Amino acid sequence: MKQPNDFLPLCRQEMDARGWDAPDFVYVTGDAYVDHPSFGVSIISRVLEDAGYRVAILSQPDYKSCEAFREFGRPRLGFLVTSGNIDSMVAHYTAAKKKRSMDYYSAGGKMGNRPDRAVIVYCNRIREAYGDVPIVIGGLEASLRRFAHYDYWDDKVRRSVLVDSRADLLTYGMGEKILLRIAELLNRGVPIKKIRDVRGTVYLGKEGDPVHYDVAATFDYNDLKTDKRKYAEAFGIQYKNQDSVNGKAICELYDGKMLVQTPPMPPLEREELDRVYALPYMRDYHPSYKSMGGVPGIEEVKFSVTHNRGCFGGCNFCALAFHQGRTVRSRSIESVITEVKKITQLPDFKGYIHDIGGPTANFRYPACDKQLKDGVCANRKCLAPTPCKNVKVDHSEYMRLIEEAEAVAGVKKVFIRSGIRFDYLMLDKNDAFFRKLVRDNVSGQLKVAPEHCSDGVLGCMGKPPFGVYESFRKKFFEITKQAGKEQYLVPYLMSSHPGSTLQDAIELALCLKKNGYAPEQVQDYYPTPGTASTVMYYTGINPLTMKQVYVATDYHEKQLQRALLQYNRPQNADLVREALKKAGREDLIGFGADCLIRPASSHQPYQKSGSKLQAHGKDRSSHRNEKPARGAKPAAKRSDKTDRKGGKAVQKRKK
């Protein structure tokens, strides 16, 4: 019998307590089990439960043999497999390919509870245990590796994860509708090998088999793994066909077999999203983890609310366009307020809603009315390099949502910690939301992502020109002063993104010096699957324009660029001097006001530039950590915007 006020079974004993002889699905995940709507496993499992299916959770099984995968016996309909909220390789390794010290999605933050390339390993163990049992893979790792993809850790183009895992189906994007349809077909007795027309899936058949949808293009893996230009062309076509309105099927050939991606599943509309977020989540980690210190990943999201999905920002380093999509949908105000009221009833709630956000906090609707009928534009971004004239800019509903949340009994304050898209904010001729944000909803510091100051680099990133950020920054501090507050901006910065040369890094260092920034931490560009920037990194070609792009792939040059962004640190002095000499900018080595570093032979005390007070506000040093950030997601960990938002992990990146 359904028990709506309890966790789903995590072990055989808990399943037996429910009186089940077997589950319909066993959901294998590389994360610890957290039943919260910011976690993809929780959403999918609750959606299936709501439809009448029995779902058991096999969390972080011992992957060294197949015995742990027999915990619940053979499921009636099949196994669902995900590496967790983020790609297992990103979870384990830094941009420098060094082992991380903590896993925020494991009990106690302990590393080593999941394998590298978890989706492949889990599927192989399931095959050992049960042979031809149906296996459906999903989540961020599967979604972003669904095609042949450049793998940063192997430094080569790997095959689709569907081929390597030997799973039967792959689901990409947000999975609720997709998995409900697959479950319905399996429950009717349709063999999984016959499921070929469900949108949002990838399957492997024989070369020459008929495809149920129009095909945009067919590529051969043997070409993609050796021809960089062809690889870039393939990604460009894939990127342009990720819209549910106008997207077509895409095929890849693997030595006589044909991989087919069906067109995307339409996004959940408002009423559907409201239903998903109204399901009976426990909003906490499974109690079995308490003695191990709990699961750190819940900390940033426990008192937060996701109000939207999708992002039309279109940053090239972000996987959202390839996963959640570029069209935005949002929940009703009533749905969000109902969730806020649930949060106020949690025993450890202190009166503060940490966030009402999402991939980009201040988006509520598609960028323009045209998207609803014709889909997103294949060859045009909505906001960069310049905003499209059709973009609708309106923060009034989001402001009303925040105000109604602030009025809920027990709520002292509502913060917005997801990424605010500052260029979209600046397009709003009515600055009422901007003023409210600064006055009421900033927790001392507002995180924003200018990323760089070089317009050439920003163009490669898919970001607006730096002048837009400067205008935003000026207005932020003006409003801060008028409000009588002292608040900070925390600008996110990235080194070594494709397009960035040593000269660009020097330009950014000079900009930091001019404005008194002293970044505590900067993000080295991290090539992760499913982004246009990763294609640039591997091929030296922008797949959206097919133009050549400079790429710093040499590790030492990347160290030089990073050191320039933290030029004022004594430990970086030698690298900064080397970079300036290499770039022919020795004029910046000296004691003048415009110099970045003193000469090596000088014994003059080191002058460290600090944060600069400005108009009752401060430009605070940028600090990124590796905790999961609100606004799935991502993500960043940058993101990749962390998966959460529904059904599939979203590695997320702040906007």
Supply the pLDDT for residue 4. 43
> Of 142, 168, 202, which residue constitutes the final position of a domain?
202
**Within this chain, do residues 198 and 337 fall inside the same structural domain, yes or no?**
no
Per residue in 336-353, pLDDT (tens digit) is: 999 999 999 999 999 999
Supply the pLDDT for residue 604. 52
- Separation of alpha carbons 647 and 651, rounded Å: 13
Read off the pLDDT of each residue in 149-178 and give the average, rounded to a whole number: 97
Quick one: which of 556, 509, 514, 551 has its CA closest to 532?
A: 551
Q: What is the CATH number of the domain that holds 597?
A: 3.80.30.20
**Within this chain, do residues 69 and 195 fall inside the same structural domain, yes or no?**
yes
**Within this chain, do residues 528 and 392 fall inside the same structural domain, yes or no?**
yes
Query: Which 3 state secondary structure label does DSSP give 142?
Result: helix
Residue 519: band (very low, low, confident or very high) from pLDDT cuts 50, 70, 90: confident
Residue 447: band (very low, low, confident or very high) from pLDDT cuts 50, 70, 90: confident
Q: Are 484 and 437 in contact (CB under 8 A)?
A: no
Continuous segment of H or E residues that includes residue 50: helix 40-50
Q: Are 649 and 82 in contact (CB under 8 A)?
A: yes
Supply the pLDDT for residue 601. 79
Q: What is the CATH number of the domain that holds 33?
A: 3.40.50.280
* Cα separations in angstroms, 379 against 141, 239, 297, 501, 609: 27, 10, 37, 27, 43
> Of 202, 227, 243, which residue constitutes the final position of a domain?
202
Q: Are 589 and 596 in contact (CB under 8 A)?
A: yes
Read off the pLDDT of each residue in 414-425 and give the average, rounded to a whole number: 94
The CA-based angle 516-522-524, given to 5 degrees, is 145
**Within this chain, do residues 312 and 177 fall inside the same structural domain, yes or no?**
no
**Within this chain, do residues 188 and 326 fall inside the same structural domain, yes or no?**
no
Supply the pLDDT for residue 177. 98
Supply the pLDDT for residue 602. 63
Residue 360 lies in a domain: yes
Residue 236 lies in a domain: no
State the DSSP code for 232.
Answer: H
Residue 631: band (very low, low, confident or very high) from pLDDT cuts 50, 70, 90: very low
Mean pLDDT (the chain, rounded):
91
- Residue 428 CB-density burial (10 A; 0-12 exposed, 13-18 middle, 19+ buried): middle
Continuous segment of H or E residues that includes residue 617: strand 617-619
Residues 6+ apart with CB under 8 A from 496: 505, 524, 525, 552, 557, 558, 561, 562
**Within this chain, do residues 194 and 54 fall inside the same structural domain, yes or no?**
yes
Quick one: which of 47, 97, 98, 45 has its CA closest to 75?
A: 45
Residue 285 lies in a domain: no
Residue type, 424: Y
Residues 6+ apart with CB under 8 A from 571: none
Continuous segment of H or E residues that includes residue 79: strand 78-82
Indicate if the pLDDT at residue 636 is higher than 60.
Answer: no
**Within this chain, do residues 179 and 310 fall inside the same structural domain, yes or no?**
no
Indicate if the pLDDT at residue 124 is higher than 90.
Answer: yes
**Within this chain, do residues 312 and 196 fall inside the same structural domain, yes or no?**
no
Continuous segment of H or E residues that includes residue 548: strand 547-548
**Within this chain, do residues 498 and 362 fall inside the same structural domain, yes or no?**
yes
> Of 145, 173, 202, which residue constitutes the final position of a domain?
202
For 168-197, the DSSP string reads: SEEE-S--HHHHHHHHHHHHTT--GGG---
Alpha carbon distance, N-terminus to C-terminus of the chain: 44
Per residue in 534-591, pLDDT (tens digit) is: 999 999 999 999 999 999 999 999 999 999 999 999 999 999 999 999 999 999 999 9
Residue 253 lies in a domain: no
Read off the pLDDT of each residue in 486-504 and give the average, rounded to a whole number: 94
Residue 157 lies in a domain: yes
**Within this chain, do residues 173 and 313 fall inside the same structural domain, yes or no?**
no
State the DSSP code for 212.
Answer: S
Both structure tokens of 439: 């006055």
Per residue in 396-414, pLDDT (tens digit) is: 999 999 999 999 999 999 9
Residue 255 lies in a domain: no
**Domain of residue 530, residue span:** 300-619
Residue 273 lies in a domain: no
Quick one: which of 477, 476, 474, 450 has its CA closest to 464?
A: 450
Read off the pLDDT of each residue in 421-446 and give the average, rounded to a whole number: 95
Quick one: which of 537, 528, 534, 558 has its CA closest to 641?
A: 528
pTM above 0.85, yes or no: yes
- Separation of alpha carbons 329 and 278, rounded Å: 16
- Domain count of the fold of the chain: 2
SS3 content of the chain, % helix, strand, coil (to 5): 35, 15, 50
Per residue in 232-260, pLDDT (tens digit) is: 999 999 999 999 999 999 999 999 999 99
Q: What percent of the chain has pLDDT over 90?
A: 87
Supply the pLDDT for residue 642. 35
* Residue bearing tokens 């059709």: 390
Per residue in 261-296, pLDDT (tens digit) is: 999 999 999 999 999 999 999 999 999 999 999 999
**Within this chain, do residues 193 and 306 fall inside the same structural domain, yes or no?**
no
* Cα separations in angstroms, 244 against 204, 247, 365: 21, 6, 16
Residue 655: band (very low, low, confident or very high) from pLDDT cuts 50, 70, 90: very low
Residue 486 lies in a domain: yes
**Within this chain, do residues 169 and 311 fall inside the same structural domain, yes or no?**
no
